[in-house]
Amino acid sequence: MQKRLLLDLTHFEITIKRLCCQLIENHDDFSNSVIIGLQPRGVFLAHRIHKNLQELTGIKNIALGELDVTFYRDDFRRREINAPSETRIDFSIADKKVILIDDVLFTGRTIRSGMDAMLDIGRPAKVELMVLVNRRYSRHLPIEPDYVGIQVDTIRSEKVIVEWKETDGKDAVWLLTE
Amino acid sequence: MSSLSTKHLLGIKDLSAEDIQLIFSTADNFKEVLNRQIKKVPSLRDITIANLFFENSTRTRLSFELAEKRLSADIVNFSASSSSVSKGETLIDTVNNILAMKVDIVVMRHPHAGAANFLARHVNARIVNAGDGAHEHPTQALLDAYSIREKEGSLKGKKVVIVGDILHSRVALSNIFCLQKMGAEVMVCGPTTLMPKYISSLGVKVSHNLREALNWCDVANMLRIQMERQDIRYFPSLREYIQLFGLNMDMLNSLKKPVTIMHPGPINRGVEITSEVADSVQSIILNQVENGVAIRMAVLYLLASRVD
């Protein structure tokens, strides 16, 4: 098993800052935008982006929600099910610009479930997708991100691991090769 | 852990405390879904469920049907009165005929104890027991325990008294198993004639005095007097039962501390509890009904994940 560092602490922070700046360019004062992190691991990125945006812009009331997609997955009964996490969206997403956030984009199936779950909650004006890691050439569905932390070209047997200060003690992105 | 240790839900007896915990935490998620504008998720899109009711039921049946529909399952309904059972077909034949139409899960209520167990051994489908005779009614016990957990914060160390016809009650038996597994203390209270002989061997306290029982407990589950099962006279008169075991507002107000009131329904208003008690702020009877759908969604979802 080979382990290669894709993003270290310094670059991790720079990447988050850059993603925030890109959001600010497109969303002005965020009065009509909401951030939704996908459970379980996209939530960490969503919280980090939210915190950095508040620091950078001084706007205190950017809406932030968490969305669980377990009941919308298409691999139910095909593999061991994950325990569902909490969905917490205490604002309306109707006619808002939604920034959907996940940590790694791979086959696109989770994002598909996420979009279905989100549309059951309301009808947004527009949906954008932000991911920290975009694994290219591995999509099963025609889904592409609008904001990307880093691009990686990987094969199926490889794994991308995103570590967060909150749960793993430090921020880092790793590539594992068999 | 994210799946149940059993293939079927035949009774609480077969579940572990972890299983019950898993059902509760999954029900928490479904409760959130039920409070959305669109109260539906597509999880069980490709699952077909047959609801077999060989005995009358309104609440349980509706609750199961809603739970199934909110999980997007396809459902077929069947009740004994309008079926070939009245023409003499056996239970296995009836069920196998239904399964031949590609049904994955069977929800069954039956007047005989052990019917669900029997079915689980002989047919190839997941079985959910929706009440079998005077044996078990697992989803009712789960929703009762879930409602207590919601009201009181936890079940550990809570004192629950079950009042009424313990002898004929599947709700009582399943509740005893479920509450004990989750660390609650249980007392049963009722007339001697409506108390099974060896009930204390289940590790429950027994009382024949309602006031004493209510002063001991945090939660009182008031069972219905099952008029249809009073084949011999278990008590001299309904009036006497009401005087000794009926709960009214005067008694409720005179207790040492506020007691949470539950009832599995249907209520005989003025018998086991008066209308004022049923509609009082201490009553969580309607919360029980609401939680029933979330609990049944959780059970079906977790069992369906094991359909091969």
**A79 within some domain:** no
Would residue B224 show up in a list of annotated catalytic residues for this protein? no
Catalytic residue chosen out of the listed positions B36, B87, B102, B256? B87
CATH code of A136's domain: 3.40.50.2020
Would residue B26 show up in a list of annotated catalytic residues for this protein? no
Indicate the number of domains in chain A.
1
Considering only CB atoms, A81 lies closest to which of B3, B37, B40, namely: B3
- Whether the CB of A68 is below 8 Å from some CB of chain B: the reply is yes
Q: Is the pLDDT of residue B85 over 70?
A: no
User: Would you call B38 and A121 a contact, using CB atoms and an 8 Å cutoff?
Assistant: yes
Domain extent for A95? 2-71+85-177
Distance from CA of A94 to the nearest CA of B (A): 12
Per-residue confidence band for A166, with pLDDT thresholds at 50, 70 and 90: confident
Q: Is the pLDDT of residue B2 over 90?
A: no
**A76 within some domain:** no
* Residue at B301: amino acid letter: Y
Summarised one tens digit per residue, pLDDT across range A85-136 is: 889 999 999 999 999 999 999 999 999 999 999 998 889 999 999 999 999 9
Count A/B contacts: CB-CB distance under 8 Å.
47
Q: What average pLDDT does this structure show over B134-148?
A: 96
User: Would you call A84 and B29 a contact, using CB atoms and an 8 Å cutoff?
Assistant: yes
Domains and CATH numbers, chain B: 12-136+289-304 (3.40.50.1370), 138-288 (3.40.50.1370)
User: Would you call B2 and A83 a contact, using CB atoms and an 8 Å cutoff?
Assistant: yes
- A68 to chain B: nearest residue by CA? B29
Q: What average pLDDT does this structure show over A28-52?
A: 94
Distance from CA of A92 to the nearest CA of B (A): 11
**A30 within some domain:** yes
- Whether the CB of B301 is below 8 Å from some CB of chain A: the reply is yes
pLDDT for the residue numbered B231: 66
Q: What average pLDDT does this structure show over A46-58?
A: 94
Instruction: Name the average pLDDT for chain A.
Output: 92
Q: Is the pLDDT of residue B308 over 80?
A: no
Q: In this structure, which long-range contacts are made by residues A15-23, counting pairs with CB atoms below 8 Å and at least 24 apart in sequence?
A: A15/A132, A15/A149, A15/A150, A16/A48, A16/A49, A16/A52, A16/A149, A17/A52, A17/A56, A19/A49, A19/A130, A19/A147, A19/A149, A20/A49, A20/A52, A20/A53, A20/A56, A21/A56, A22/A147, A23/A49, A23/A53, A23/A99, A23/A130, A23/A147
User: Would you call A77 and B38 a contact, using CB atoms and an 8 Å cutoff?
Assistant: no
Would residue B61 show up in a list of annotated catalytic residues for this protein? no
- Whether the CB of A87 is below 8 Å from some CB of chain B: the reply is yes
Summarised one tens digit per residue, pLDDT across range B232-271 is: 778 888 899 999 999 999 999 999 999 999 999 889 999 9
Q: Is the pLDDT of residue A159 over 80?
A: yes
Distance from CA of A163 to the nearest CA of B (A): 22
- Whether the CB of A90 is below 8 Å from some CB of chain B: the reply is no
**A49 within some domain:** yes
**A91 within some domain:** yes
Q: What average pLDDT does this structure show over A30-34?
A: 94
Contacts for B184 with CB less than 8 Å, ≥ 6 apart: B145, B148, B155, B156, B157, B158, B159, B160
Place of tokens 């200060």: A165
Distance from CA of B36 to the nearest CA of A (A): 7
User: Would you call A87 and B32 a contact, using CB atoms and an 8 Å cutoff?
Assistant: yes
Query: Which among B125, B135, B211 is positioned nearest to B177, based on CA atoms?
Result: B135
Please state the ipTM of this predicted complex. 0.78
Summarised one tens digit per residue, pLDDT across range B23-67 is: 999 999 999 999 888 899 999 998 999 999 998 888 899 999 999
**A77 within some domain:** no
User: Would you call B2 and A121 a contact, using CB atoms and an 8 Å cutoff?
Assistant: no
